[in-house]
Amino acid sequence: MLQRKTQTAAFWRNQFEVTQDDLDFIHELVLDASSPLTTEQLSQRLIEEYQRRETSRMESELSKGKIYQPDKAYAVGQTLVFPTMDFAVAEITATRPGENPEHGDFSVIEVQFADNGSKREFAASLKTPHRLNQANGQSIVEKGALLTAQEIYRLYRDEIDESVLYALEEGERHTEFVQVGEYWLLSDMLADVHVGHLNIAEALIEMQSRPLTSQEILKEIDLGSHISQPMRTISINHALSGDDRFDKVGNGGNHLWYLKRLEPKEALEIPALLRPHSPRYNRALLSVELLQLEWELDDEWGESGVGSDVPSIVPSTSFTLIYPHRHYGTLPLGSRTRSFFPAGSEGRSMVTVIDGRWGKRFSAWVVHGGRYVSGLKEWMEEHSLPVGAQVTLERTQNPGEVVIDYRPRRMKREWSRFASADGNRFGITFEMNKVQITCEYDDYLIVSTEETKQLDALSQRAEKAGVSVDELVEQIVPELTKLSPQGTAHAKTVYSAVNMLWRCPPGPVFYALISNRRFRDAGGGFFALEV
């Protein structure tokens, strides 16, 4: 059977490109559909259309004459179709006997092609086997053994979707199509949502001081009774998503709209010190002891917690604050905390957090791409939580609410490592000072500073200079060892100190410790300077 182009990987991976005819087809498809269509649905229907066109063309071309097959006899004046030559049509202009002893008696026909007038010769009445003798009109257009549109889409989904999305989003006719969520519709199908409507939506949200659903907003906006309720919802969602004032903070398909200017800065843009650096390192060289420390830290960008999230049936969990999260008032979304908040891979979700000490309720934003929850700075300040504080989360009956608390203890002044930006050189220095602490904390992680702005500036300089984790560790360890009578620094302390300047999970920090010949493993997670 003749190989169809639509059955080949070469066509879909290298040749397929959405044409104007394809866009006409998609336009009519969306117009006639009873509901908006997804990219997957559009792609599969377009594959089906390509298969239909191919079959139709083959049948049309085959009707113009007999299919050329070497074992058949032909006469002058007959019209032949050559499927292997893209269904070229030719008329037989002459015949003569063949002259090849290997094939016995056969004929040679001369044909003239209709498209360019060129002439060629082909064998006829051939008795020896030939691959073209296997074909016939029925097998060429036969569909039974072909891949279906669904099977083709599964095989070449990325390439097909890429071409379709480019044409709909950036092609010459992109203004005709509108994507709302995962669905596509025609722009002239949308209701007219003007700036006045959007101003009303802004005022409604501000008066309510909470996110509103599309339906709540539509109660106060008249988009016309002739427009169906589903289309009104799609239209308002599309208009709100295109206006920089509004932010979708709902989960999944649940559209909740809020005002960006009412959200904390950390919810809208990931701070520099929360953007992770994950340099390559030889993880196999980390000892069991260091891997255990990594698991205890449960860094949201670390490797030890991947795939082992705390199940949703567990009522509570706890974690320790590191400097970047304390600095910006955020909570990490690590393996122990992720299931307590709405899931997602991008965008933001709004949740209600309840202070377990005082019962105060406030809003927080789950920043899925940054793997943190923002909006906790005021709570941390009110309770004077230090870096290293042990924080607890507890589930409620409402999936959109979570109780946050800490483990209290009698106020006491404790020693803490105080960091300062070194004004004379590119670096960070540490000394010991006492701070008041009213909660349980991890003594290895506690670091403090009164020079947050200076450290931020130092962090920016380190980033701009391309400083590596190895350089930071080599600079920080001597500073930490001088604070200890034993002349040692714990691996968790080094990790905590590095993260005052450079957001990095424990693995690369620990590897920088064990791979530097200046440092000696003193056991128990401690490292000393090599004498």
Q: Strands 37-38, 66-67: parallel, antiparallel or unpaired by DSSP?
A: unpaired
For 7, counting Cβ atoms within 10 Å of its Cβ (0-12 exposed, 13-18 middle, 19+ buried), the class is middle
How big is the chain by its Cα radius of gyration, in Å? 35
d(CA 265, CA 348): 13
Q: Which of 355, 378, 409 is the last residue of a domain?
A: 409
User: Are residue 43 and residue 177 in the same domain, yes or no?
Assistant: yes
User: Are residue 397 and residue 465 in the same domain, yes or no?
Assistant: no
Q: Reduced to 3 DSSP states, what percent helix, strand and coil does the chain have, rounded to the nearest 5?
A: 40, 25, 40
Question: Please, are residues 132 and 84 in contact by the beta-carbon 8 Å criterion?
Answer: yes
| Any domain includes 405 | yes
Q: How many other C-beta atoms are found inside a 10 Å radius of the C-beta of residue 417?
A: 22
d(CA 56, CA 410): 84
Residue identified by tokens 């007219």 is 192
DSSP secondary structure code for residue 474 in this structure: H
Domain count, the chain: 5
d(CA 427, CA 459): 10
- Output the six-digit token pair for 298: 């449960």
Axis crossing angle, helix 469-481 with helix 491-498, rounded to the nearest 10: 120
| Any domain includes 179 | yes
d(CA 201, CA 221): 8
| Any domain includes 224 | yes
Residue 459: phi and psi, rounded to 5, are -60, -40
| Any domain includes 277 | no
Amino acid at 220: E
- Output the six-digit token pair for 329: 């008032």
| Any domain includes 269 | no
Strand partners, 247: 258
d(CA 322, CA 70): 80
| Any domain includes 306 | yes
Residue identified by tokens 């009956």 is 397
- SS3 call for 90: strand
Q: What is the CATH number of the domain that holds 124?
A: 2.30.30.30
Residue 311: per-residue pLDDT: 76
User: Are residue 54 and residue 168 in the same domain, yes or no?
Assistant: yes
User: Are residue 418 and residue 400 in the same domain, yes or no?
Assistant: no
| Any domain includes 139 | no
| Any domain includes 21 | yes
Residue 302: phi and psi, rounded to 5, are -80, 175
Q: Which of 126, 157, 184 is the last residue of a domain?
A: 184
User: Are residue 36 and residue 180 in the same domain, yes or no?
Assistant: yes
User: Are residue 21 and residue 154 in the same domain, yes or no?
Assistant: yes
- Output the six-digit token pair for 140: 């060429």
d(CA 501, CA 462): 8
User: Are residue 415 and residue 402 in the same domain, yes or no?
Assistant: no
User: Are residue 392 and residue 472 in the same domain, yes or no?
Assistant: no
Reading the chain (531 residues) residue by residue, the pLDDT tens digits are: 456 889 899 999 999 999 999 999 999 998 888 678 899 999 999 999 999 998 888 877 777 888 888 888 889 988 888 877 777 888 888 999 888 887 788 888 898 988 888 898 998 888 887 777 655 444 555 555 788 999 999 999 999 999 999 999 998 888 889 888 788 888 888 888 999 999 999 999 999 988 999 999 999 998 887 777 878 888 898 899 889 999 988 765 567 899 999 998 999 999 999 999 989 999 999 999 999 999 999 999 998 754 567 777 789 999 999 999 999 999 999 999 999 998 887 788 889 999 999 999 999 999 999 999 999 999 999 999 999 999 999 999 988 899 999 999 998 999 999 999 976 566 899 999 999 999 999 999 999 999 999 999 999 988 898 899 999 999 999 999 999 999 999 999 999 999 999 999 999 999 999 999 999 999 999 999 987
User: Are residue 329 and residue 376 in the same domain, yes or no?
Assistant: yes
* Residue 294 parent element (H or E): helix 288-297
What is the domain range of residue 122?
Answer: 70-134
Q: Which of 230, 262, 294 is the last residue of a domain?
A: 262
User: Are residue 168 and residue 204 in the same domain, yes or no?
Assistant: no
User: Are residue 370 and residue 228 in the same domain, yes or no?
Assistant: no
User: Are residue 200 and residue 79 in the same domain, yes or no?
Assistant: no
d(CA 200, CA 257): 13
Residue 135: per-residue pLDDT: 52
